[in-house]
Amino acid sequence: MRENDDDKAIEILQKAVSYAQQELIESATFRPFGMVLVDNRVDIIKNDTEDREISYDEICRDIEDIVSTKRVEILVIVIDTAMPDEFAKDSSDDTKSSIRLHLEERSQLSKDISARYIFVPYQIYEKEANELFVELYRPIPVGLIAEYIKK
């Protein structure tokens, strides 16, 4: 992977986590969303579907459609989810929630582990009346095979 690819992936991950963190501060949760890098432009994919599972499925289908018609270099699908049990034991007792990022990069397709889930555990605190603070903890990466971007 070229350094520029690493920089782009990190930049998109940072944008995704910041967006999710801001939503958590505003409403103590966030709706699923996606981000794709196409032609050096980052597009956000989201919808207004109330049911979060259905919303997530729709975003995944939207990303499949985009990947089938455009050359996507990087994609991220982001959801608010519970920490998997195998990782929850490594985090604080109060940290049961996480931002899960599904990351795929075209530049990684030649590798056995070509994609990752990145779990970012978080806790929400109330600073003052109706003002929330979100503390993020060390990300936990899990390797997997790319599901959307293909050679």
In a domain, 51, yes or no: yes
Domain hosting residue 122, numbered range = 3-144
Asked whether residue 129 is domain-assigned, the answer is yes
Residue 2: its pLDDT value, please?
46
For residues 87, 91, 93, 95, the Cα torsion angle rounded to the nearest 10 degrees is: -90
Any domain includes 77: yes
- Whether residue 150 lies inside any domain: the answer is no
Q: Report yes or no on 42 lying in a domain.
A: yes
Of the candidates 6, 19, 29, 31, the residue with the CA atom closest to the CA atom of residue 103: 6
The answer as to whether 70 is a domain residue is yes
pLDDT along the chain (151 residues), means of 10: 73 96 93 96 95 96 97 97 77 76 95 94 86 92 94 79
DSSP string, 82-142: EPPHHHHTTS-TT--EEEEEEEEEGGGTTSSS-EEEEEEEEEEEEEETTEEEEEE---EEE
Using CA atoms, how far apart are residues 41 and 12, in angstroms rounded to an integer?
11
pTM as predicted: 0.90
C-alpha–C-alpha distance, residues 47 and 138, integer Å:
29
Looking at the domain assignment, is residue 151 inside a domain? Answer: no
In a domain, 149, yes or no: no
**Number of domain units in the chain:** 1
**How many C-alpha atoms does 85 have within 13 Å on its Cβ side?**
0
